[in-house]
Amino acid sequence: MQDILTIIDKFDASSLTELEYSDGSAKLLLKKEDTAKTGARARKNVSPALTQAELNQAMELPPLKTNATVITSPMVATFYASPGPDSPSFVSKGKRVQKGQTLCTLEAMKMMNQLEAEFDCIILDIKVNSGELVEFGQPLFEVERV
Predicted local distance difference test score (pLDDT) of residue 37:
46
Predicted local distance difference test score (pLDDT) of residue 46:
43
CA–CA separation, 37 and 41 (whole Å): 10
Q: What is the mean pLDDT of each run of 10 residues along the chain (146 residues)?
A: 72 76 72 54 43 52 65 94 93 95 94 94 95 94 93
Which domains are delineated in the chain? 2-59 (no CATH), 68-145 (2.40.50.100)
- Residue pair 137/77 in contact (Cβ under 8 Å)? The answer is no
Segments in the chain forming alpha helices (H): 2-13, 35-38, 52-59
Predicted local distance difference test score (pLDDT) of residue 1:
60
**CA-wise closest residue to 123 among 61, 81, 77:** 81
Kindly report the pTM of this predicted structure. Answer: 0.55
